Each structure stands twice: as structure tokens, then as C-alpha cells.
Amino acid sequence: MQRRQVAAFAAVAGCTLLSNTRVGAAGNGPARSETLQVAGSRLDLQFDDGFSPALQALALLWVQRAASAVAGYLGRFPLPQVEVLVQAAGGAGVQRGTAFPEPVPYVRIRLGRDSTAQHFHDDWILVHEMLHLAVPQVPRAQNWLHEGIATYAEGVARVKSGWIPALQLWGEFHRGMPKGQPQPGDRGLDFTPSWGRTYWGGAQFCLQADVLILQRSGLRLGLRHALQGVLAAGGNYAVAWPVTRILAAADAAVGQTTLVDLHQQLRASSQPMDLESLWQQLGVAPTPRAATGIELRDDAPASAVRRAITA
């Protein structure tokens, strides 16, 4: 889903394909399907016609890296087996992604035929879509929880895996979180299905939850541990759960009631989030000197919480 533009960063090496991966050999024509094993899960990739063998090889590394980032964040890949359909598009770059729950959960990606390693490095969409696989289907009116988790955890997972630097993540949060503020006529997260409230209002919910869970656990546990609890309880995109059940399962995993309480507080509230004060606490300070628009300060009162989010 289109959520934002991401700044280009230098490519980072370090992704290794597993031995059972088959890469299409030039001269044989492009392979149409590939299988990856990531953290014990099986990913079946189906490629459209029109991709060169070289581009398919790059795409395999990218899928491997995205799946590893998600598995690193959640302690496992969300499902034991999933299909990734890679459709060809004109131009370059990862252009669109969608996660579908039926008939079995799968991810569909539109990929430009002229994409380069840099385009794969700059992509956030695939990690975002894979994170959807970790959350049960919810009623449409509460899609903010799905999109919020995918929007928030995508960047955190990529920092944790070494894909992007923490400075980039916090710069993106600093620019993005204001888009989740209530606008005139807002009736709270559960009753305001606008783009801003769905993606960034949901991400605000996750950021607040992560900070609170970390503070209440002495920095031992965070939102990712809560989300791991949902997976452990059998919650993923193959099933449909009420939001209250997802949040209760997540809370149980960290021995708190943070998520259920926060939902009660925000579900019908049009109160804006006090972002300025949170940035000050976390040590995310605006500066015109940096390309990211921010600098990270370790002398802020809750800078240890900020560091724990991506540690």
C-alpha cells in the first residue's frame, strides 16, 4: 500500500540465499517459480513473464531479506507457508503490494521490469505486506489496527535487521506521525476510516503502545513481544478475530493491559496525540542540518526507550 516516499540509501550487502533455492539460469529462459526457506517457513515465489534471470535473482534476495526482517522482529515468519506473486509492470521499482487473506494468505507485488538493486534496497512495501500476514483479519472499520501495525513495525523491523539506520526510521516517523492526527469531524480510530487515521493513526497507536509496554516492563518487553503473543495464540491473517481479542492476546503475552486500555482510550476519541512532547521525551529533535530533518539525542529523558524500540 502506498504510504510514503522513502529516501534512497546505499545498498547493504549480506543476504544469503539458502541452498535449496533455484535461480533461473540465463540461456534456459527465466524460471517462473522459486522456493525460499526463511526461519522454517516456506515462501513460494511466482514470477510473471517478462523478468530477466538477473532481475529474478535480485528479487529473490529482496524477498529473502524482507522475510528475514519480519521473522527477526516477530521471532518467526507469520505463516508456515505463503505465496508471493510478483507481477511485471513498466518502469522501475516496487510499485504496489497487497496482502490477501483468501483462499490462503498470500502477497501480490507489482515490480517494474527495469528495477535495480537500489530499488529493492529502497523498498518498504514487501516488509509492510508480510507484516499483514501476522495479524488476524479485522472488521473493515478497524483496519487502522492492521495498517497501523504494518506501517509502524515495517521500519522498526528493517532497522533491527540492519537494513536501514535508526536515524532514517525516526525521521520517517517524525514526518509521518502527524498525518495520523484527527481532523475536524473525527470520531476516533474505530469510527474514522480516513487514509491518515487508518495508516498513521494506527501507527500512532502502535508507537504509544510500544513506549508504554517498554516503560512498564523496565525495557524488557515491547510491542513486538505482544505481537509475538498473537501469533503464538494462533492469530494470523488466515483467521478473523475481533480487535478486542487480538489486543487481549497481545497484552497477555507481556503481562499487561496496555493495548486494551489504549484502545478503550482512543477508539472513540478525537483528541490529538501530543507528538511534540513524545519526541522531546524520546530525543527525536528537529534540525534543518540533517537530510532526515531530525537528530537523535541520548540526553533526553526517555532516550533509552527510543533505543530499546530498535535494539
* C-alpha cell read off for 251: 497484552
Which residue of this chain has its Cβ atom nearest to Zn ion in the complex?
1
Among 79, 125, 150, 164, binds Zn ion (CB under 5 A): 150
The least CB distance from residue 134 to Zn ion, in Å, is: 12
The least CB distance from residue 131 to Zn ion, in Å, is: 8
Cβ proximity to Zn ion: between 51 and 237 the closer is 237
Region near Zn ion per CB under 5 A, out of 53-61, 146-154, 163-171, 181-189: 146-154
The least CB distance from residue 301 to Zn ion, in Å, is: 33
- Is residue 138 near Zn ion by the rule CB under 5 A? no
The least CB distance from residue 99 to Zn ion, in Å, is: 7
Cβ proximity to Zn ion: between 96 and 267 the closer is 96
Cβ proximity to Zn ion: between 143 and 161 the closer is 143
Cβ proximity to Zn ion: between 2 and 16 the closer is 2
The least CB distance from residue 121 to Zn ion, in Å, is: 20
257 exposed, middle or buried (CB, 10 Å; 0-12, 13-18, 19+)? middle
Region near Zn ion per CB under 5 A, out of 144-152, 180-188, 237-245, 280-288: 144-152
Region near Zn ion per CB under 5 A, out of 74-82, 150-158, 226-234, 299-307: 150-158
Q: How far is CA 282 from the centre of its chain?
A: 21
- Please check whether residue 273 is in contact with residue 281, taking contact to mean a CB–CB distance below 8 angstroms: no
Cβ proximity to Zn ion: between 83 and 261 the closer is 83
The least CB distance from residue 212 to Zn ion, in Å, is: 24
The least CB distance from residue 203 to Zn ion, in Å, is: 11
Region near Zn ion per CB under 5 A, out of 148-156, 231-239, 247-255, 280-288: 148-156
The least CB distance from residue 57 to Zn ion, in Å, is: 27
C-alpha span between 33 and 24 (Å, rounded)? 9
- Is residue 1 near Zn ion by the rule CB under 5 A? yes
Cβ proximity to Zn ion: between 97 and 222 the closer is 97
Region near Zn ion per CB under 5 A, out of 115-123, 142-150, 253-261, 290-298: 142-150
Secondary structure, 3-state, the chain? CCCCCCCCCCCCCCCCCCCCCCCCCCCCCCCCEEEEEECCEEEEEEECCCCCHHHHHHHHHHHHHHHHHHHHHHCCCCCCEEEEEEEEECCCCEEEEEEECCCCCEEEEEEECCCCHHHHHHCCHHHHHHHHCCCCECCHHHHHHHHHHHHHHHHHHHHHCCCCCHHHHHHHHHHHHHHHCCCCCCCCHHHCCCHHHHHHHHHHHHHHHHHHHHHHCCCCCCHHHHHHHHHHCCCCCCCECCHHHHHHHHHHHHCCCHHHHHHHHHCCCCCCCCHHHHHHHHCEEECCCCCCCEEECCCCCCHHHHHHHHC
- Measured CA angle at 168 (ends 208, 129), to 5 deg: 70
The least CB distance from residue 299 to Zn ion, in Å, is: 36
Region near Zn ion per CB under 5 A, out of 84-92, 145-153, 174-182, 223-231: 145-153
Total residues in contact with Zn ion, by rule CB under 5 A: 3
Interface contacts to Zn ion, rule CB under 5 A = 1, 147, 150
